[in-house]
Amino acid sequence: MKKQVTMVVRHGPLNTVRAAEALRAAVGYTLAPQRVTALLIGTGVCAGAAGLRPELVGQPEVAKHIETLKLLGHRVVADRPSHEALGAFPLHPAVELVDRAEVLKLLEESDVVVPY
């Protein structure tokens, strides 16, 4: 049976490797029969910014992981209240903006939640 795995990305991509690592692990989760959702929340929504190039400040890129998840039929979602609080900047086209109620529903329906 497929498990629903939700990776919660809580850190921005410019001052730590954790956002990139969380998304790398989320791509890795697709190597087992699992439905994977990467949830960008808090400062983590910055990882979903359009045109982001963390490599310019020596951090690993994140867009390739977001695009890979989308290509493989998995989801990358961003928490709307976090996004609005940080200035509602343009998001990568593969990132879906979701309301807090949907975030809660996603967490409730997940078999595994990985806060990272």
Partner 1 sequence: MKLGILLTTSPEHQNSTTALCVGRAALELGHEVELFLMDDGVTNVLDSRDNPVAGALAALQAQGAAITLCGSTCDPRGVTKESAVAGVVFGSQYDHAQIVHRTDRFLVFG
CB-wise, 68 or 97, nearer to partner 1?
A: 68
- Per-residue interface string for the shown chain with partner 1, residues 17-46, x marking contact by CB under 8 A: xx--x--xx-xxxxxxxx------------
Alpha-carbon distance 1 to 103, whole Å? 23
- Is 108 an interacting residue with respect to partner 1 (CB under 8 A)? no
- Is 101 an interacting residue with respect to partner 1 (CB under 8 A)? no
DSSP 40-82: E-GGGGGGGBTT--GGGGT----HHHHHHHHHTT-EEEEEHHH
Which of 81, 90, 93, 115: binder of partner 1 (CB under 8 A)?
115
- Is 71 an interacting residue with respect to partner 1 (CB under 8 A)? no
